[in-house]
Amino acid sequence: MATIAELETCDGFAVETPDGLLGWVEETWLDRSDHPAALAVRTPDGRRGLLLAETVRAVDPDTQEVLVEAGTSLVELAAPRLARVDGAVAASWRTTGAIVEPTPMPLGASPASPAVAAARTATVHVERPLWSIVVFALGLLATLVSAEIGLMFLVAWLVTGHAY
């Protein structure tokens, strides 16, 4: 089971089973003592479900994944509600009690809903290829060396009136 600290910081992470992708974490729900108790998950088909914290096996912050066992089901979430009580605004989100059996999406496939695809684009973790990192580092090194050489010629010109 994942620790409380890991569950607090997993908004936007992908929820993965051995079969494939179940959805993405929209937000973390807290219990009465302000500890993570569940995760609100958006499925690839656009539905919303609640994943209880005890069903989470691990959280991988490097790959932004929440790992659960195969066959994990979600409790369906009703539409969020807004109420005004004595001038204060209270928002709530309840479950319907129905079970959502999401079909795991194969890795690399895009979500059916454009809204889900757009939301996922903002949180997706893309790792740069090694060649890209090496080219950037060499370019930065060449820029620093050129700037230092140029600065030396400028100092020589200012002091002696000749660049060399």
Given pLDDT bands bounded at 50, 70 and 90, which one contains residue 5?
low
Confidence label for 141 from pLDDT (cuts 50, 70 and 90): very high
Rounded average pLDDT over 125-130 = 78
Residues in the chain: 164
How would DSSP label each residue in the chain?
Answer: ---HHHHHT-TT-EEEETTEEEEEEEEEEE-TTS-EEEEEEE-TTS-EEEEEGGGEEEEETTTTEEEE-TT--EEEEPPPEEEEETTEEEEE--EEEEEE-PPPBPTTPPPSSHHHHHHHHTT---PPPHHHHHHHHHHHHHHHHHHHHHHHHHHHHHHHSS--
Over 80: is that where the pLDDT of 112 sits?
A: no
Give the model's pLDDT for residue 24: 85
Considering only CA atoms, which of 58, 80, 72, 65 is closest in space to residue 100?
72
Residue 134 pLDDT more than 90?
yes
Q: What is the predicted pLDDT for the residue at 119?
A: 56
Q: In CATH, which superfamily holds the domain spanning 4-121?
A: PRC-barrel domain (2.30.30.240)
Highest mean pLDDT among 25-29, 104-108, 141-145: 141-145
For position 15, what pLDDT does the model report? 87
Number of other CB atoms surrounding residue 62 within 10 Å: 7
Mean pLDDT of all residues in the chain?
81
Instruction: Provide the whole-model pTM.
Output: 0.60
pLDDT in the model for residue 135: 96
Percent of the chain with pLDDT over 90: 19
Residue 40 has pLDDT above 60, yes or no: yes
* Domain assignments of the chain as residue spans, ordered by start: 4-121, 128-164
